[in-house]
């Protein structure tokens, strides 16, 4: 520590570099182990009808229970999992687990009518095996394909757009829905809507956060909602944290909402209790 002061900035710089290199390497080793030991679990966040407040669906979100670091959020490891080629097996587990959970809820809670949303990465959709595995999971869990929605982001179209487009069509042919997640933060959004059939658009949280202070942002949301009406797309606004935002989204005619105001992501048990309340 004293040496750091002696050589000043240089020592601090290398020390930081060393730390981040070590932790990057550690992350890779730990992630490999996490897959082998299955240290992952899913939390669920509700999606609501804006006008009635009724829960219409849940989104599955992955968490990593790291033996030393505690709970790690997906932004800290999904990218590395993609680079390491681990995302295919993680993604397969997520789909299997979420569909199994949904089937369990359907059996335990008669009258339950919820859609399940599952996030996917480009790496998964580039693999032609994806749809075959998806079909297999649906058959084994006995889940109605119409109740499942696969969430994708615009970034999936950057590489191999043709293969990805084919995968999306084959997923839809199964009766599974496709949602375009984080809409508005990526690249040429409208050209993707033109070329690929979607069922849902999820307006990124960034817009919801900005809309109270920026009249232009509110206008953009209104335009996306109008676009959704014309193209027959469900529009979900993400990241609703206060009732002013909720009211504004209701006024503009945004059909669905998701965010901490309505529910935080909950583990399977807590979510079961939460959704049972509305039955
Ligand atoms: P996403 O799919 O856009 O999910 C929404 C994220 O926003 C979640 O973060 C959620 O916890 C958070 N969120 C929801 N409501 C609010 C709110 O009102 N305020 C704020 N500040 N945040 C809110 P999370 O769970 O950390 O996930 C981050 C991202 O990681 C997800 O963004 C998704 O892109 C990715 N991800 C999560 N699970 C999976 C998975 O199983 N597979 C893949 N490939 N990606 C995943
Ligand atoms: Mg999502
Ligand atoms: Mg999102
Ligand atoms: Mg995201």
Percent of the chain with pLDDT strictly greater than 90: 80
ipTM above 0.95, yes or no: yes
Q: Kindly give the number of the ligand 1 atom that is closest to the alpha carbon of 42.
A: 41
CA of 18 to the centre of ligand 2 (A): 34
Give pTM, 2 decimals. 0.93
- Pocket probe mutation, ligand 1, options 46, 61, 84, max atoms within 8 Å of Cβ: 61
- How distant is the alpha carbon of residue 144 from its chain centre? 20
Instruction: Identify the band that residue 51 occupies on the pLDDT scale cut at 50, 70 and 90.
Output: very high
Cβ atoms of 143 and 102 within 8 Å: the answer is yes
Nearest ligand 1 atom, CA 241: 18
Which of 172, 166, 165 minimizes the C-alpha distance to 150?
Answer: 172
C-alpha distances out from residue 123 to 12, 40, 155, 159, Å = 37, 19, 11, 10
Chain segment 208-226, per-residue pLDDT in tens: 999 988 999 999 999 999 9
Give 1's Cβ-side CA count (13 Å radius).
0
The percent of residues above 70 in pLDDT, for the chain, comes to 94
Beta-strand pair 200-203/234-237 = parallel
Q: How confident is the model at residue 9 (pLDDT cuts 50, 70, 90)?
A: low
Identify the CA nearest to 236 among candidates 190, 267, 199, 192: 199
């Amino acid at each position: 520590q004293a040496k750091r002061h002696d050589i000043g900035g240089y020592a601090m710089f290398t020390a930081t570099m060393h730390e981040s290199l070590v932790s990057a390497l550690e992350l890779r080793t730990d992630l490999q182990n996490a897959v082998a030991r299955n240290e992952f679990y899913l939390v669920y966040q509700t999606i609501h009808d804006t006008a009635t407040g009724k829960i219409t669906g849940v989104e599955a979100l992955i968490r990593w229970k790291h033996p030393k670091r505690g709970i790690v959020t997906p932004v800290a490891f999904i990218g590395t999992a993609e680079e390491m080629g681990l995302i295919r097996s993680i993604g397969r587990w997520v789909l299997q687990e979420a569909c199994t959970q949904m089937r369990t809820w359907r059996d335990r809670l008669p009258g339950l009518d919820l859609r399940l949303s599952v996030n996917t990465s480009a790496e998964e959709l580039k693999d032609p095996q994806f749809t075959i595995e998806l079909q297999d999971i649906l058959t084994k869990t006995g889940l109605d394909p119409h109740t499942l929605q696969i969430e994708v982001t615009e970034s999936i179209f950057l590489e191999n757009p043709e293969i990805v487009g084919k995968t999306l069509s084959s997923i839809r042919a199964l009766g599974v829905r496709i949602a375009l997640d984080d809409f508005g933060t990526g690249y040429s959004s409208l050209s993707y809507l033109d070329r690929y059939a979607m069922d849902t658009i999820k307006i990124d949280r960034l817009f919801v956060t900005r809309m109270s202070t920026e009249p232009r942002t509110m206008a953009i949301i209104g335009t996306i909602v109008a676009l959704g009406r014309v193209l027959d797309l469900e529009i979900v606004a993400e990241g609703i944290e206060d009732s002013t935002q909720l009211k504004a989204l209701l006024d503009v005619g945004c059909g669905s909402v998701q965010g901490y105001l309505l529910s935080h992501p909950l583990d399977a048990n807590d979510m079961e209790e939460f959704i049972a309340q509305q039955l």
